[in-house]
């Protein structure tokens, strides 16, 4: 939820304060735990396990949103509802169920909250919880970048006031090394392009930008019928930051950011694709699971050149 890995740092600080151990010693325990589990657990998750082993319990503590970390099972916090989505119904095992989603913010960050319990959802349906209202959440389960509320969780309207100009409402992106990427993360990393594949082309509807199907007499959009399709492209790359590598996808609107401009000229395209190799840039996007390869992949939605002056300032501040 927080950028610059501050959620992990704050968790480390809390464990140190509660246990009386130096942060360096706790970090050694965390790395040992990750090594024992062959790196299959994140630093935040390993910190949760170590804190439990040390007898440190955060169950009754009120946290700021940027202090929430994946794996917490009884997260407690207060925030303001900045987005409230319509209640959705779905069928499971022949029974109709409901789910509701909202985004809650405080002065430190924001997080998506998912409600599964009908008693909680009725608060939305009855208008008791709405956009602009503050809510208090207790015993939420932090899964990835979301907080899920089940029947053992609690949500209620809070009297706490928040100043709108101080709320963190922008999309939260974590700066983190590739080795710490988790599925559903919104992440940012400075990395090198080490492999680039041939572009793939597809056609989209000019109205909704969704993929269209080609028919004998043209293209058809499921929503808008026959349309004059727009040709789009994407390129798969592999990026490496020294800690690990990951396959990334760059869609049409961001291709120019990496220097791909000649999609219709095969010879120039090959040269531009080769020029990608070795480029160091800052990539931001979402990590999702590729169902075909059964591997995480990085859906890149923002690319920036490396600003040397900014890097020097960051190093000076550390």
pLDDT tens for residues 67-81? 887 778 889 999 999
pLDDT tens for residues 194-240? 999 988 888 888 888 888 888 888 888 888 888 888 888 889 999 99
Q: Please, which pLDDT band fits residue 242 given cuts at 50, 70 and 90?
A: very high
pLDDT tens for residues 255-289? 888 888 877 777 788 888 888 999 999 999 999 98
Question: Which CATH number, 3.40.50.1820, 2.40.50.140, 3.60.20.10, 3.40.50.300, labels domain 59-172?
Answer: 2.40.50.140
- Fold: same for 59-172 and 174-203+230-317: yes
Question: Which CATH number, 2.40.50.140, 3.40.50.300, 3.30.930.10, 3.40.50.150, labels domain 174-203+230-317?
Answer: 2.40.50.140
The whole-model pTM stands at 0.63
> Is the pLDDT score of 118 beyond 70?
yes
Say how far apart CA 234 and CA 201 lie, in whole Å. 7
**How many CA within 13 A on the CB side of residue 108?**
16
SS (H, E, C) 91-155: EECCEEEEEEEEEEECCCCEEEEEECCHHHHHHHHCCCCCCCCEEEEEEEEEECCEEEECCCCEE
Annotated domain spans of the chain: 1-57, 59-172, 174-203+230-317
pLDDT higher at 182 or 23: 23
């Amino acid at each position: 939820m927080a950028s610059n890995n501050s959620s992990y740092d704050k968790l480390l600080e809390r464990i140190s304060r509660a246990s009386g151990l130096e942060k360096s010693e706790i970090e050694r325990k965390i790395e040992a735990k990750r090594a024992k589990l062959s790196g299959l657990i994140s630093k935040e998750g390993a910190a949760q396990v170590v804190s439990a082993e040390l007898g440190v319990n955060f169950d009754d503590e009120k946290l700021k949103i940027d202090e929430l970390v994946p794996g917490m099972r009884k997260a407690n916090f207060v925030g303001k509802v900045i987005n409230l989505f319509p209640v959705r119904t779905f069928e499971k095992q022949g029974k109709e169920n409901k789910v509701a989603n909202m985004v809650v913010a405080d002065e430190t960050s924001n997080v998506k909250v998912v409600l599964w319990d009908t008693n909680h959802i009725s608060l939305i349906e009855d208008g008791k919880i709405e956009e602009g209202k503050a809510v208090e959440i207790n015993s939420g389960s932090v899964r990835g970048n979301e907080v899920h509320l089940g029947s053992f969780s609690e949500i209620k309207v809070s009297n706490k006031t928040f100043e709108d100009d101080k709320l963190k409402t922008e999309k939260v992106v974590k700066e983190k090394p590739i080795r710490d990427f988790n599925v559903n993360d919104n992440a940012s990393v400075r990395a090198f392009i080490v492999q680039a594949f041939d572009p793939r082309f597809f056609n989209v509807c000019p109205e909704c930008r969704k993929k269209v199907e080609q028919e004998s007499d043209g293209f058809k959009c499921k929503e808008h019928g026959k349309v004059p399709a727009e040709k789009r492209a994407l390129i798969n790359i592999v990026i490496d930051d020294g800690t690990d590598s990951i396959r990334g996808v760059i869609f049409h609107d961001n291709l120019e950011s990496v220097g791909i401009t000649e999609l219709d000229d095969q010879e120039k395209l090959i040269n531009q694709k080769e020029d990608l190799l070795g480029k160091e840039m800052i990539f931001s996007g979402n990590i999702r699971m590729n169902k075909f390869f059964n591997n995480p992949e990085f859906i890149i939605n923002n690319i920036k050149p490396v600003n040397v002056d900014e890097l020097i300032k960051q190093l000076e501040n550390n």
